[in-house]
Structure 1
C-alpha cells in the first residue's frame, strides 16, 4: 500500500511529462490544483516531495471517512502541522481522531468533550483562553496534539499509557487498544 502512495506521489510530481493516456484517472487537473494548494500551505514537512507523498497516501486512506477531497487535504495539512508543532506522530493523531470523533468536526460527547480530538473544555483554562472555540479545527488539533505530547512525555514515550491518560482511562487498556488498532489498520507507515 505504501508503495502505491509513493508511486502516486511520483506521478503527481512528474505527471505532466506522462502522456494523458497513462495518467491515473484520479489525477485530474482539479485534484492536482487542490493538492498543489495543500502542499504549498503545509508547514512541518522537510520538502515538497515529502509533503506530496504523505498527503497523497493519507488522502487515499482518509477518503472513506472524509469524501470531499478539498476538505480532506485541508484536514490532513492541519493535522500534520499541529502534530509536527507538538512533536507527535501525525499518524497517531489520525488514529486518535478516528476513535474519538470518527472525523466529525462538531462531535460532542456526553461528558462535554468537543471536536475532532474530543478536547474537554477545562483545557481552555489550562493551556488556552476562555474564548477558544474547541470546534474550530485548527484550535482543536493544536490543543489535542499538545495534550497528547504532554502525556507522551510523562509516560517517557510509551504510547499506550499516554493514550490512556489522554482518554482519562489510566490503568485500563480498552481505549489505547482501540487507537492502536486504528493506527495499525489505517494509518501506520512502516
Structure 2
C-alpha cells in the first residue's frame, strides 16, 4: 500500500491518507473537462499557452476543470499510476485533447473507446496486474459507477467535474474500506 505525505490546499491543509489506491482511474468528459470530446468538430485546436486550448474561432475556448491538473500532479508525485477510461465515440479527439491540455504524460493506462466501462477495467487489471479492490475510480455518470463498483472498485460519482474535495473524499473512502480489512 502506497503512502504519501503530500499536502493539498483547500479550505485548510489536508494530508493524503496513509492507505492509497494502487491505480486511480478518471473518466474524461465532464470529469476532467466540462464538455464531450465527441462533440468537438474543430480539428484545429491548439494550446493557448495558459493551460487551455483554443479552436480556429477565438471564441471557441476549452479548459480543464479548475483542479484537474493539480490532482494529476499530486498523484504523479505520490507515484500512483493514473488511467483514463472513456466511452467516447471519438477516441482520436479524446486522445488529442489529453495531448493538447498537456496532461497525457500523467496517464500510464488509457482505455478510450465506446462500450461498457467494465471492459475498460478488465484491460486495466490485465495490464497493471492490480486487483480491482486496489483501484479508485471517478466518473460523472452514475451508470458507470454502478457497473464498475460490481467489480469491487471503489467508485466516486462527481457531479460537476473533479474537485479537490471530491478527490480527497474518494481517497478517504478508499482508505476506510482498506482499513476495515
- Please report the TM-score for the alignment, with normalisation by the length of structure 2: 0.26
Considering only CA atoms, is the larger Rg found in Structure 1 or Structure 2?
1
Between Structure 1 and Structure 2, which shows a larger proportion of helix residues? 1
Ranked by relative contact order (alpha carbons within 8 Å, sequence separation 6 or more), the top structure is 2
Between Structure 1 and Structure 2, which shows a larger proportion of strand residues? 2
